[in-house]
Structure 1
Amino acid sequence: MLLSPLLAGFPLVRSGIPLRQTALLANPIADGIPLRILPLGASITWGQASSTGNGYRSDLRNLLVAGGNPVNMVGSRQNGDMVDNDVEGWPGYVIEQVYAKAKGKNSVGFWKPNVILVNLGTNDCLQDLDLADAGERMREMVEGLWVLSPRALVVLSSLILNKNETVDERVEAVNKQYAALVSQLKGDGRRIAFVDMHGANGPTLADMNDQTHPNDNGYSKMAKILYAGLVDAGKAKMIEKPEVVNGVPDDGANTGLGNNPFGEE
């Protein structure tokens, strides 16, 4: 995936994105509507191996806020030292297990996000778990997410590279299934976008903290790709205002570190 021109050459830093620079480069997405974002996945979504625990979420949030969108990250868990650190990340879990968590009472159906960021399937690849049907398992989950939150744009990312060549071959096979799935669902008029984390703009071998997880620079690259995907989705009129949920603010920073009234499941 090609990054939007406004991101070309733009430096992201571990401690956050320089907001003055971002404000000059970014514009509000979808006319500045509130973005209630649920990051959904396993350990990479959780932020494992990043120095702060924030993973891609802090850099992405900073970009969105600097552009003019109120942002509330939501989920049943919290991780990282950022404000608004809610997340639905479950280290070690495979697609079916994460979907079960997404159906929990404190997850998608409660928060009604209008954006769901999905990076999921790496553990299926690590376990070589019925990979021929990984795309169908993802389809079942994505369609279930729309039942839980009908207004949601689902942003499905390809899986990042893996340092183990055998695992990376599995990753590439699953990524092809994901790309085909998104193409089909978009053709059916569904709110879904595909972003490529395994391409030239994604984390490289030098951006890996271990065989599977990015370091801070790798997570920053993921944030840029997700941001570009949301910009494109906004231009395509795929992002709708979130449903009103009592007690859930438009800006998650207003409530300090996390805004989840339940605590972790």
Structure 2
Amino acid sequence: MKPIKLSLQAFLMSCLIPGWGMVYVGRIKWGIRVAALLFGGVALMGALGLITTPLGLYAFFVFVITVKLTSAIVSAVLARRYSGPPDVPRKRFHALYVGVVIILVLTLGVFRVPLLGFKNYYIPSGSMAPTLSIGDYIIADLQAGTPTVGDIVVYRWNGTEAVKRVAGVAGDTLAIVNGELIHNGENLGLFHAPADRVKGPESLEMAPVKVALGHVFLLGDNRYNSNDSRFMGQVAVEDVVGKVTGIWFSNERARIGTTFP
């Protein structure tokens, strides 16, 4: 009687664990190569900084899905044509293979910052509207380096992480006159804030302030409804987590894929 390997089982095993379906049909080296391709490709994309933008994140998803789906289809075909021993490889090897892959996945998760360099966030408030709206899913580059004026950044404050725009860095002198930002004597206008979001005394006027060494001064684009450095004070550079590079998903279709310089 011809040994039986189930095509559907091989397909599902490959979808769950990269290369597992190959192992199931006795192609152990193929399975290891598939896993190496997947994890090696992800690590390479992270090392090159290719996953830190919406486009890079989409490419990451496409790569992972393509590798897993292709290997799943090939595994299903090989299962249908299988003619080797019915008990190869043995259950112990299956357990070992799955265990090693799970450890690799957990390692990527734990060391995601140094290995992949990105993190996703959900926008729960309107302090950066209309640039960032409630319901937007953003991606941040966690290895973007020193913040510069105009950057949208994720920062730690009071035990939480929030998002604002850098209005000034160490040594800069800032003021707000008639709602316009004066940066080192240069008038930067409303500085990304829509005119209808600049109202109320706190939005229209701010006495000159100098940004301290090792700190940044943050403002929300929704100037009238933003708890930023006007109220909470300047933020230490070491508390800046990363630079927001774009919106990778949103309730508004037109916003999906938006990128920021």
Give the TM interval when normalised to the shorter protein.
under 0.3
Length-normalised TM-score, structure 2: 0.24
Between 1 and 2, higher relative CO (CA 8 Å, sep ≥ 6) is seen in: 1
**Which is greater in Rg?**
2
Length-normalised TM-score, structure 1: 0.23
